Amino acid sequence: MNNRHTLAAAALALALPLLASVAQAQAPGRHPAYLHGLADLRDARWFIEHRPDGELEERERHALAEIDRAIDLVQRAAYYDGKNVYEHPRADSYPDARGRLRRASALLRSAREDIAQEEDNNQVRDLQVHGVERIDEAIRLTESVMVDRERAREMYEHEHEHEHDHDHDHDRERDYERR
């Protein structure tokens, strides 16, 4: 019986370091939000790039370049922080043309929030700061396009609203003349 306890204790002593190293490898690093932020950046990029109603304008192409730079910086920071940067979860829903830039903006803001969390690893702090700067520029560009398109849409609707009123008045006059 004593040999069994000794054998079990020896097996446990040999297994503990192995279990500890497996647990450490699977545990999230110091900044697990990098992966979520990367997924949001990739999804925001997809929404900006896939414009269903025509060519991308210059600010959208510039926003894509800023997102690419942010992805590069954040991937390097995540890699140095011990993360698997090759996981690429995708968005579940795809908004219509009108909601595309809104969704991209929300994803960029979510990525910024995740990536800007306090970083205690000096090796990656500069990468993190520069990545956040790139995200901020992509947000600014994306939202400026969004605001301009909303204004153009409102002007278009306002102009056509008056045309409709004019057509309606003309129909009333014609109906009056028939009576």
pLDDT value, residue 165 = 57
pLDDT value, residue 131 = 94
Tell whether 95 is covered by a domain.
Answer: yes
Letter string b/e over residues 112-150, b meaning 16 or more CB atoms within 10 A of that residue's CB: bebbbeebeeeebeebbebbbebbbbbbebbbebbeebe
| Long-range contacts formed by 88-96: CB under 8 A, 24+ apart | 88/39, 88/42, 89/39, 90/43, 91/43, 91/46, 91/47, 94/47, 95/47
Identify the CATH number of the domain in which residue 129 sits.
Answer: 1.20.1260
Give the rounded distance of the alpha carbon of 141 from its chain centre.
Answer: 14
Tell whether 20 is covered by a domain.
Answer: no
pLDDT value, residue 19 = 36
Tell whether 17 is covered by a domain.
Answer: no
Tell whether 57 is covered by a domain.
Answer: yes
Which residue segment(s) compose the domain that 134 sits in? 31-150
Domain count, the chain: 1
CA triple 10-15-17, angle to 5 deg: 115
pLDDT value, residue 28 = 46
pLDDT value, residue 94 = 56
pLDDT value, residue 20 = 40
Tell whether 175 is covered by a domain.
Answer: no
- Tens-digit pLDDT profile for the chain (179 aa)? 555 555 444 443 444 443 343 333 334 455 568 888 998 999 999 999 988 888 899 999 999 999 999 999 998 988 887 777 776 555 445 556 668 889 999 999 999 999 999 888 888 889 999 999 999 999 999 999 989 988 888 888 888 776 655 555 556 555 555 55
pLDDT value, residue 99 = 83
Tell whether 63 is covered by a domain.
Answer: yes
Tell whether 166 is covered by a domain.
Answer: no
> What letter does residue 93 receive in the DSSP assignment?
-
